[in-house]
Structure 1
């Protein structure tokens, strides 16, 4: 009995194996059986349908299509495992059922070939649900060799560069990306149910703004001007609030010319939404409900596990001001640190590196990053950021050194960033000018002044709450994925030499 599997023998020359496959294709084409000339196969069911409902399928004729993942040839009868979108199912192929010539052709099929099978649903004597083939059609010839069956495709560099192979041989990867689609669908369903309007805004912009990030730059030949890929969705969506669209959102790609890490990819998917006549408390309620609702819809539970840690989305999310969080986890009270000089002295005392351009609010943020973030495992809103690090957020009326801003942290990662949006055009101009001074001093991530946006604010923007959610990080959370590349179909990779 031959037992053809995904692995190749180490002593075999891969090039010879590839030549054999091309020879088989040439023979098929010479015999008028070119698989690439077959344009259609009518699929009636998927593997999962049959496996989950055998009682209703037993004895029925079905048509499935998929990729051969293993094959055992035993003289007059053979077994093969077929993988389609939903999973794997066994096919029993017998010479007396499909005919002598088709069976001879079938025996020459390779692992990785795509086939269509018509047949009867039954159980083997070992109890395995299978398809007894009455017809087998070669739909596409695989000219490459799949990775070894039992170890799969494990090399991460190859997995990311050849995601198509990763999807073929690692079913759990396919499940992750199916979940990704479902998560984004449920986000849309939730926001649509709250009367938000989905919109599209420019990807190519003359002024990149809305975030502290370095843009990708290019040149538009016809206009003869420099333009940029957007780093945020914010400023155009706010223009729509000015225009009277009271609830808007966009799910779109943004681009930041930054390094690669388990949390960062230069292009990623961002959700931003804006709602007139509410504030950052309204945004807290919305995002908490959104996370809970999407988890329940996609996973069927609000109790999730990430990297072995139980995360409870059902309980009210903790709310802490940034200053109180530092006091809680570092025992340092910035309410007692009156100015920039005292803040820098405190930073030196605690060996926290800072730049001379940094103000008191910047130092507060450095202490937060050093002492607090590592503790924020369960869902926590960190509120009331210093104005120096929040150029687009409204000041707190009772304490204008701070803003009505929050970030949501889960598993030590920022998941969302939100404001009571700054709608005072005079204050906004002053903030932009301060950011421009930072740019002049060498901060390439500082916001640029956007005159048209300031003009829009001068027409009047109502009180507005806004929020940005990193879709990829949210998907990482709900799929228990450790790296952002694991939830991006085609992550950014350095070109091979």
Structure 2
């Protein structure tokens, strides 16, 4: 690496000695490479003059003539350079070019004897000199950690395959916006820096504002600000943005992640259930051309209606534990230990049920690999949700699961301010007993609720996990351009 870099710096200095700026301010381009290739037969001929730009990916010097391949963001094309066309002085520049350099070339199009579509270069200009070599393997960078840590190398080495993942992600978000806009939602923006965090059971990141001399929190959820908007008179709002949770990293969790949250007045969780299955079927159709996707070897049909399971019934069916037979924390914990499930002694009964749900999906039953809704959760793990209208001890909450991935949370939202205060106080008791993810009491939010919020259903969906599903990627880090990574050995030392 050091020797290669030294050679490139010598080439850089040689260009400057010739009066050539290796990093010019301006650039000319008449066509993208994709446009030229698409219309090649129409453009071919010595009378044409096309100016292309791109990175040198292949370079072969052959005396008085040279071939190279250049690549822009749309494609790759061969270029042909001769001393007779460029002149001896300009042709010498080729010896100072390296793989990875960016150039601007102008010329006409022709086909070689082997029918290779080629630009015959009449002029060439250096646009940016690369001082480090490209990844060694022309057809791919193998090390996964390096690919995620240095995404720019991944994009260079594995170009089309990796770019397609992020094209899918972008189209997913575009389709989501289109669907919600058509359903009369409006997009809003709410604070990322918050004086008090809430809306989810999670630990926050804390920062400090010097001028105000106060601590602030990076938001863990969008929810409480959207509800304030419904109090103020908006009826349908959504927001796509970053959330931050100070939690572990695994195949489905990154501390910085993207969510959509949307809230719909005069609706309950049954209405949102229909909306979500219709929205995700629409997204799949727009992004993949079908409601059928394949995730990690399993074909999944996102066309509605999806299968619906009661959470407690599903746990009974798939783990063998009938939660309703164990009315307190101690008895449920004992039943879980009998089944060799891990038990955190600090957690209450509701959180143990939530852990059982996770264990249920780890068992990998085929039925749980499809698109489904799990309905009706324990009250003590759902402090912002209305009590179930007919099932004591439960709330009107559901979660969508696709391919075994939890994709979000949906409630019939609690709009009784006195009940909400009591729930917050119960969360405070859980926090005092060691649950540091329990929610804080938010007086400003309670004041807004006391003004009055209409009956509402709200949802939060993980964009990264939906991108995993649509692009068939196993890890969340593969659908985030620059994921949070552990320190390297060099950084640790």
- Structure 2 length as normaliser, TM-score? 0.93
Contact 1:326 / 1:372 at 8 angstroms: preserved in 2?
no
2:87 is equivalent to residue 102 of structure 1: no
Partner of 2:313 in structure 1?
Answer: 324
SS in 2 for 1:458: helix
**Aligned equivalents of 1:149, 1:94: Cα separation in 2:** 29
Describe the superposition over 1:156-200 as per-residue Cα deviations: whole angstroms up to 9, x where unpaired.
Answer: 332233222222222122222233222222222222222211111
Decide which of 392, 395, 414 is 2:387's aligned counterpart: 395
SS in 2 for 1:399: coil
**Aligned equivalents of 1:163, 1:340: Cα separation in 2:** 46
**Aligned equivalents of 1:257, 1:406: Cα separation in 2:** 24
Between stretches 69-78 and 300-309, larger displacement belongs to 300-309
SS in 1 for 2:393: strand
**Aligned equivalents of 1:310, 1:110: Cα separation in 2:** 45
**Aligned equivalents of 1:372, 1:18: Cα separation in 2:** 50
Contact 1:106 / 1:136 at 8 angstroms: preserved in 2?
no
Decide which of 71, 85, 102 is 1:114's aligned counterpart: 102
- How far does residue 133 in structure 1 lie from its aligned partner after superposition? 1.8
Aligned pairs, number: 483
**Aligned equivalents of 2:118, 2:124: Cα separation in 1:** 14
Q: Which runs of 4+ in 1 moved over 6 A?
A: none
Decide which of 82, 86, 89 is 2:77's aligned counterpart: 89
**Aligned equivalents of 2:358, 2:289: Cα separation in 1:** 34
SS in 2 for 1:217: strand
**Aligned equivalents of 1:416, 1:57: Cα separation in 2:** 51
**Aligned equivalents of 2:29, 2:290: Cα separation in 1:** 33
SS in 1 for 2:369: coil
Decide which of 38, 44, 48 is 1:58's aligned counterpart: 44
What is the 5 A alignment of 1:400-411? 400-411=392-403
Decide which of 207, 210, 232 is 1:243's aligned counterpart: 232
Between stretches 48-57 and 305-314, larger displacement belongs to 48-57
**Aligned equivalents of 2:13, 2:170: Cα separation in 1:** 39
**Aligned equivalents of 2:382, 2:230: Cα separation in 1:** 20
- How far does residue 49 in structure 1 lie from its aligned partner after superposition? 2.4
Cα pair distance change 1:68/1:338, threshold 3 Å? same
Describe the superposition over 1:226-269 as per-residue Cα deviations: whole angstroms up to 9, x where unpaired.
Answer: 22111111111111011111111111111111121121111111
SS in 2 for 1:466: strand
Contact 2:347 / 2:435 at 8 angstroms: preserved in 1?
no
**Aligned equivalents of 2:306, 2:110: Cα separation in 1:** 51
Decide which of 269, 274, 282 is 2:271's aligned counterpart: 282
Contact 2:407 / 2:461 at 8 angstroms: preserved in 1?
yes
Where structure 2 has 5 or more consecutive residues not aligned to the other structure, the ranges are none
Contact 1:25 / 1:34 at 8 angstroms: preserved in 2?
no
Cα pair distance change 1:57/1:317, threshold 3 Å? farther
SS in 1 for 2:52: strand
Partner of 1:177 in structure 2?
Answer: 166
Decide which of 451, 458, 467 is 1:466's aligned counterpart: 458
- How far does residue 470 in structure 1 lie from its aligned partner after superposition? 0.8
**Aligned equivalents of 2:300, 2:110: Cα separation in 1:** 43
2:294 is equivalent to residue 308 of structure 1: no
Describe the superposition over 1:130-158 as per-residue Cα deviations: whole angstroms up to 9, x where unpaired.
Answer: 22222221111111111113353222332
SS in 1 for 2:299: strand
**Aligned equivalents of 1:218, 1:468: Cα separation in 2:** 25
Contact 2:105 / 2:125 at 8 angstroms: preserved in 1?
yes
**Aligned equivalents of 2:310, 2:398: Cα separation in 1:** 8
**Aligned equivalents of 1:197, 1:445: Cα separation in 2:** 31
Between stretches 144-153 and 81-90, larger displacement belongs to 144-153
Contact 1:352 / 1:366 at 8 angstroms: preserved in 2?
no
- Structure 1 length as normaliser, TM-score? 0.92
Describe the superposition over 1:426-453 as per-residue Cα deviations: whole angstroms up to 9, x where unpaired.
Answer: 1111111111111111111111111111
Cα pair distance change 1:300/1:63, threshold 3 Å? farther
**Aligned equivalents of 1:390, 1:278: Cα separation in 2:** 18
- How far does residue 475 in structure 1 lie from its aligned partner after superposition? 1.0
Cα pair distance change 1:101/1:178, threshold 3 Å? farther
Between stretches 329-338 and 410-419, larger displacement belongs to 329-338
SS in 2 for 1:319: strand
